[in-house]
Structure 1
Amino acid sequence: MAQHDSYLSTHMLNTAEGRPAEGVGIELWRLEPEPVLLASTVTTADGRNEAILMAEADLVPGLHELRFAVGAYFHRRGLTPAEGFLEVVPVRIRLATGQGHYHVPLLCSPFSYTTYRGS
């Protein structure tokens, strides 16, 4: 999937092993005015979202949240016990019209994470 096919894209990098994170479940929620699940996907071999998260025509400006199911991913890789430290990493973002493509990467290990607005 080309990034430009979606108004919002993401990817996850497994910083503990220095590789893309394949098989991570991701949900996209619109939080305002009431929480609504907009999309769900799973990361591909290159750590990117498999399905389009949001087309530009579907954008409703406001507060959104990406939820990364990192706990199950790291457990499957044998990097944490079943009761690992991180379970679901929520990343809240405010989307607006006229701001161009949003790309929100997650850099994650079993014990920490960081994110930023990419291109």
Structure 2
Amino acid sequence: MSAGLTTHVLDTSREGPAEGVDVILERVDESGDDEMLVRATTNADGRVDDPLLSADEMVTGTYRLRFEVGAYYRAIDAESSFLETVPVRFVIDDVEEHYHVPLLLSPGGYTTYRGS
């Protein structure tokens, strides 16, 4: 797979993809300030249609993905959700590699990892 940054969201409580989750990608500079780069929404497959960063846009540094899951749970009329926003802060240290950051979500918790 070519270099770039992608993500997807799976709702483990519903055993499938999480459609309609707003995802915000930010670059975090050395002073800790954030610069919003991309805002996207997951599709019916729980994926963002285009890479969040293409191979040409990859720059080493610290990034944060913010998954707006509270609005997702309200939209599907879930009984409750402990979570409102899930932040995932990570480092891109090799712009020649592909970075995939999936989110496995439930109303009371989440997990993430560097996928392939």
TM-score by length of 1: 0.88
How many aligned positions are there? Answer: 114
Q: Is 2:49 aligned against 1:21?
A: no
In structure 1, what residue type is equivalent to 2:5?
A: L
Pick from 81, 85, 89: which aligns with 2:86? 89
Question: Is residue 29–residue 39 contact of structure 1 (8 Å, CA) maintained in 2?
Answer: yes
Q: Residue 98 of structure 1: CA displacement?
A: 4.8
Question: Is residue 21–residue 47 contact of structure 1 (8 Å, CA) maintained in 2?
Answer: yes
Segments of 5+ residues of structure 1 without an aligned counterpart are none
* Partner SS, residue 8 of structure 1: strand
Question: Is residue 107–residue 115 contact of structure 1 (8 Å, CA) maintained in 2?
Answer: yes
**C-alpha distance in structure 2 between counterparts of 1:87 and 1:58, whole Å:** 29
Structure 1 match to 2:70: 71
Segments of 5+ residues of structure 2 without an aligned counterpart are none
**C-alpha distance in structure 2 between counterparts of 1:16 and 1:6, whole Å:** 31
Q: Residue 85 of structure 1: CA displacement?
A: 1.4
Percent identity between the two aligned chains? 45
In structure 2, what residue type is equivalent to 1:97?
A: D
Structure ranking higher in strand proportion = 2
Q: Residue 77 of structure 1: CA displacement?
A: 1.1
**C-alpha distance in structure 2 between counterparts of 1:22 and 1:94, whole Å:** 26
Query: What does 1:99-118 correspond to in 2, within 5 Å?
Result: 100-118=97-115
Provide the alpha-carbon RMSD of the alignment.
1.6
TM-score by length of 2: 0.90
Question: Is residue 12–residue 48 contact of structure 1 (8 Å, CA) maintained in 2?
Answer: yes
